[in-house]
Amino acid sequence: MATPKAIPTDGLGRPLGVLRLSLTARCNLACPYCLPDGQEPPGLLTLEQRHAVVQAAVALGAHSLRLTGGEPLLHSQLESLIETVQPLRAQGLRDIALTSNGTLLSANRARALREAGLDRLTLSLDGADGASVARMAGLSDAKAGERTLEAVLAAIGHARDAGFDPAAGALKLNAVIQRGLNDDQLLPLAELCRGQGLELRLIEYMDVGNRNGWNPADVVSAGAMVEHISSRWPLEPLERDLHSTARRWRHRDGTGGIAVVASVSQPFCGDCNRLRVTADGVAYTCLFAAPSSGLDLKPWLQPSSNAMDLEQALTQLWRSRHDRYSEERQASTAGREHAEMAYLGG
């Protein structure tokens, strides 16, 4: 019997568990907390190269693949990639998820994603009215916001009809909350999700990238968000899953629940197990990484490359990892340049 391969851990004893693979840096929205470039970096990975990255990550212990962007629905080979990695389930890949703003998710696309083998889908919506959506999506006016809101609500229906069941955790809604821009949308978003049977995932406004003018005064803490919603619909906490980015609560009346991603006020660096690979093949070990800290994987993704060499490069990168930016944010990282969110894949 073959000896099981040892799973590498980083410098703080954290194993690799999740690969976040960006397919594109482009997006059809211009959310002010992200501000994508609107164009691709040169040297995008091919379908075959992306498969090789996923295969190597799975060999090193990654059991979950999350496909991101930019907006991944802009990528024409999205379904092909999902189909291509299905055989890796026999090697330890258990879950394939997608994060999207939902505006491009037609009924046909939702069915195609499900048929390709996508397990989970998280859509994004930062407001429950046209004006709020416009502010948070970088749109021209409330009418444009209303159209976007209608598109996302339709996408929720398309996803549900395609078999992404919210009750099974296969369909959720993300919302980034920023003080003074959309903090008045907490209750409307919670009410929307209660009516849709969706888990609402509230995300603290983060200092990712260098363009969003982040100020800690603009952060609405997870505690404040939970307290505000619980004052209207009482909540009770659930146990946090190991390695999860979110802490979860359920409504006491049994109508759904919320989760909060509190990387500013309640950092979860201690058991972070995420590796990020950009659309052009640069690997980063932290969402808040400096641009120069990435490892370009393309030298190990050439036709003549050996798969074991790619695994070894990723192993060395992971073992040298000591990232815990959110825990150190106030101590020693002030003024540090960050890679941009749309480039890293969020």
The string of pLDDT tens digits covering residues 16-53 is: 999 999 999 999 999 998 888 778 889 999 999 999 99
Q: How far apart are CA 153 and CA 156, in angstroms?
A: 5
In which band, very low, low, confident or very high, does the pLDDT at 115 lie, cut at 50, 70 and 90? very high
Pairing between β-strand 257-261 and β-strand 295-296 as defined by DSSP bridges: unpaired
* Tokens describing residue 106: 């037609």
The residue among 6 and 3 whose pLDDT is bigger is 6
Question: At residue 240, what is the residue type?
Answer: R
pLDDT digits (tens, 9 = 90+) for 45-57: 999 999 999 999 9
Q: For residue 243, give the 3-state DSSP assignment.
A: coil
Catalogue all structural domains in the chain, each as residue range(s) with its CATH number. 18-344 (3.20.20.70)
Given a cut of 50, whether residue 3 has pLDDT beyond it is no
Alpha carbon dihedral 47, 87, 21, 282, in 10-degree steps, equals -60
The reported pLDDT for the residue numbered 2 is 44
Q: Which residues, including other chains, have CB under 8 Å from residue 324's CB and lie 6 or more apart?
A: 12, 267, 269, 270, 272
Mean pLDDT of the chain: 93
Q: Concatenate the DSSP letters of all residues of 18-74 into one string.
A: EEEEE--S--S---TTT---SSPPSSPPPHHHHHHHHHHHHHTT--EEEEESS-GGG
Helical pair 130-137 and 142-162, crossing angle rounded to 10 deg = 90
Q: Is the pLDDT of residue 100 over 80?
A: yes
Q: What pLDDT shows up at residue 4? A: 52
The pair of three-digit structure tokens given for residue 246, joined into one six-digit string: 């979110």
The pLDDT of residue 334: 54
Instruction: Output DSSP code: residue 78.
Output: H
Tell me the percentage of the chain whose pLDDT exceeds 70. 97
Percent of the residues in the chain that have a pLDDT greater than 90, as a whole number: 80
pLDDT per position as a tens digit, 274-331:
999 999 999 999 998 988 899 999 999 999 899 999 999 999 999 999 999 888 876 5
Nearest Cα neighbor of 154 from 190, 110, 113 is 110
Mean pLDDT to the nearest integer, 130-138: 97
With a cut of 60, say whether residue 116 has pLDDT above it.
yes
Q: Length of the chain in residues, anyone?
A: 346
With bands split at pLDDT 50, 70 and 90, how would you rate the model's confidence at 239? confident
Q: How far is CA 102 from CA 81, 137, 227, 319, in A?
A: 19, 12, 28, 36
Q: What is the Cα–Cα distance from 236 to 248, expressed in whole angstroms? A: 9
